[in-house]
Chain A
Amino acid sequence: DAMVIQNPRYQVTQFGKPVTLSCSQTLNHNVMYWYQQKSSQAPKLLFHYYDKDFNNEADTPDNFQSRRPNTSFCFLDIRSPGLGDAAMYLCATSTTTGSTDTQYFGPGTRLTVL
């Protein structure tokens, strides 16, 4: 089945220790998104890739970086996690960024920062 896969599902890191979250997709979608979602809050878009074109949200901290080495994979790097970065990180894909394009989400990675 075509899908969006995120690994790991649960990630524990220490304050200030770099961590990388991964996302892969078999949908062959052009666009990949990274969201941060804290409990009972709306998902917050961090950045997205349209093919290899990187689009950073204005309020995304420099602590967050992303890589998309090919169509299928996208990584979220948190260079120095703080306690406030503990959240669910959601990867999503869509065919384009057009208005009718549904975003399909992976299961998410729940990050704990100790």
Chain B
Amino acid sequence: GQNIDQPTEMTATEGAIVQINCTYQTSGFNGLFWYQQHAGEAPTFLSYNVLDGLEEKGRFSSFLSRSKGYSYLLLKELQMKDSASYLCAVTDSNYQLIWGAGTKLIIKP
């Protein structure tokens, strides 16, 4: 079967750094997405990785290791508005997007 694993919930402090991990087992791999979803709202695109390594976009970075079936999203200089769920999603060999259940990130002052 196809599976995406993420921690259910994480807590971090405003101004700090947090790393949200994602591991996947899918039939083939054609890219990995990270989306941010605030409570009651739609997911919004954060990043896309298809090659190994780190992609940096401002305060957010995403890392991929295809050999390990592993990715992480790194959030720096955390702000209260970063409190949201972060969803990892992988495109499989049939170009189906397989979603994780998301990691709820709670930011404390």
Contacts and interface: CB of A to CB of B under 8 A. Distances in A.
Interface of A: 40-45, 88, 90, 97-100, 102-108, 110
B42 A99 contact: no
B95 A105 contact: no
Closest 6 pairs between A and B when the two form their complex, measured CB to CB:
A99-B30, A42-B99, A105-B42, A42-B101, A99-B31, A108-B42
A88 B85 CA distance: 15
Nearest to B30: A99
Contacts of A44: 99
B33 A102 contact: yes
Contacts of B102: 40, 42
Interface of B: 4, 8, 30-31, 33, 40-45, 48, 50, 85, 87, 91, 95-97, 99-102, 104
Give the interface centre of A43, A45, A110 by most chain B CB atoms within 10 Å.
A43
Contact of A42 (B44, B95, B96, B100): B100
A100 B48 contact: yes
A1 B100 CA distance: 30
A43 B48 contact: no
B107 to A, nearest CB: 18
A42 B96 CA distance: 14
19 contacts: A40-B104, A41-B101, A42-B4, A42-B101, A43-B87, A43-B99, A97-B95, A99-B31, A99-B50, A99-B91, A100-B48, A102-B33, A102-B48, A103-B97, A105-B44, A106-B42, A107-B41, A108-B40, A110-B40
A104 B87 CA distance: 14
A99 B95 contact: yes
A109 to B, nearest CB: 10
